[in-house]
Amino acid sequence: MKISEAFRMASTAVKTNKLRSALTLVGIIAGVASVIAVMTGISVVQGAMEEEMSVLGTTTFQVQKWPRGNFDNDFDWRKIQQRKPVTVENANAVRENVETVDLVGAELWQFGSSASYRTEETNGRLWVVGGTPEYPENNTHYVDLGRNISNEDVAVARSVAVIGFAIAEELFPFIDPIDKEIKVDGKKYTVVGVFGEKKTAMGGNFDNYVLIPVSRFQRAYGMRQGNGQLRSVNMTVRAKSPELLLEAIEETRAVLRADRGVPPGEEDDFFYFTNDSSIKQFNQATAGVKLGAFVIGAIALIVAGIGIMNIMLVSVTERTKEIGIRKALGAKRRDILWQFLLEAVLLCNVGGILGVAVGFGLGNIVIFFTNFKVSVPMNWAVNGLVFCTVIGLVFGMWPALKASRLPPIEALSYE
């Protein structure tokens, strides 16, 4: 008997026993949907996180006193806290001595600020960043209106500011903000530029901050934070080309170690990271969740597979006489085997397809409440269907073998 004929007979058997087939499918759908929903949800969040983390360009890396994020709990935080802060002078040393880089920026950040213009005022949740002219290039957030801060602005600590798109919309809804005087935390600044709009899926602050010269920032806010700790510069460094990125990192490390007086043989007293390293850390952090979801889904599918085996055994018993008639008419053992095996595989894959669809839907629910983008991880859909096929083959084999081994005479006389 041809496979196509066996498949047709299996399909007919599934359609004939609609209630039994539907009950069997529930377990398969639940197992596959649980895995696909979790993996889709993680994929949605992961895509948003990668977009959020990819603020730096492909040739840019950052240097900080503190490690990025909180993915690794093995850091000796007390030892890190005692390190010297990264300084503007460190950034100048890299700028002057590393030949493989072309842009070196220095940033100091202050959160919880507010800005005002005449009667208009923002909330107290703005970021103020003291930076250098390299800021827009190194952070891939460019000035859309007016100009950027200049080296001269930094040299003389000029009270000028480039404001985020959201701030411009809030303070200057109907007029041109350029050359207008705003107050940030009570201090006056002349607006010289406006950043282009940069929406983020995670609700980031790329449109909600003010850039002022780093020298002006030091005068306005001082070099100590509210908790008394010295502020540490966030240094952004751009290599001249992607091919030179690793070399630029090593040269920067060497210059910083010398400039900061790190003795030979001791570990760096600073951290550096790229987009790839940040994304890798996030992926490592979600690996356990993915594994847990897969294990739970696999257990659910195995339980569903046992249910399929029981249903198929009942089906074999109910159709014993049919099997006897088919064998009497010349059907071979392999024909009977293929028929029942394909029936089990068909049930699993129908449930798998429905489970994938349900899982994609559940996993993408989050997009209705956020700016996240739809994600359809097809690799997990394929993995789910392959696993369903394996479940069908494994748990359908015993009923299929039992059906194929029935003696024709006994099968025909079965009541």
pLDDT, one tens digit per residue, over 102-142 is: 999 999 999 999 999 998 999 878 999 999 999 999 988 89
The reply to whether 211 and 307 lie within a common domain is no
Which of residues 242, 273, 304 is at a domain's end?
Answer: 273
**Together in a domain, 151 and 64:** yes
- In angstroms, rounded to a whole number, what is the distance separating the alpha carbons of residues 114 and 110? 11
The count of structural domains within the chain is 2
Q: For the segment 157-202, what is each residue's pLDDT rounded down to a tens digit? A: 999 999 999 999 999 999 999 999 999 999 999 999 999 987 654 4
**DSSP string across 149-173:** --HHHHHTT--EEEE-HHHHHHH-S
Domain match, 109 and 180 both: yes
Examine the domain organization and report whether 122 and 237 are in the same domain. Answer: yes
Structure token pair of residue 375? 């994600």
217 and 314: one domain? Answer: no
29 and 99 part of one domain: no
Packing angle of the helix pair 88-97, 245-260 (nearest 10 deg): 130
Residues 111 and 213 in one domain: yes
**Does 38 share its domain with 80?**
no
263 and 294 both lie in a single domain: no
Q: Which two tokens stand for residue 361?
A: 């839907």
Measure the CA–CA gap between 262 and 236, rounded to whole angstroms.
21
CA distance 26 to 21: 9
The rounded distance, in Å, linking the Cα atoms of 211 and 148 is: 9
120 and 244: one domain?
A: yes
**Tens-place pLDDT, residues 215-239:** 999 999 998 887 778 899 999 999 9
Query: What pTM was estimated for this model as a whole?
Result: 0.62
323-301-381-13 Cα dihedral, nearest 10 degrees:
20
Domain boundary (273, 304, 323) is at 273
> Nearest 5°: phi and psi at 225?
-80, 180
Structural domain harbouring 205: 60-273
**C-alpha dist (Å) from residue 133 to 86, 102, 142, 208, 361:** 18, 12, 11, 19, 45
Residues in the chain, pLDDT under 70 = 1-20, 46-58, 68-75, 199-205, 275-287, 289-290, 293, 297, 318-319, 369-371, 408-415
- 155/67 same-domain check: yes
What is the DSSP secondary structure assignment for residue 262, as one 8-state letter? P
Phi-psi region of 123 (alpha: psi -120 to 50; beta: other; left: phi over 0): beta
The span from the CA of 390 to the CA of 157, in Å, is 69
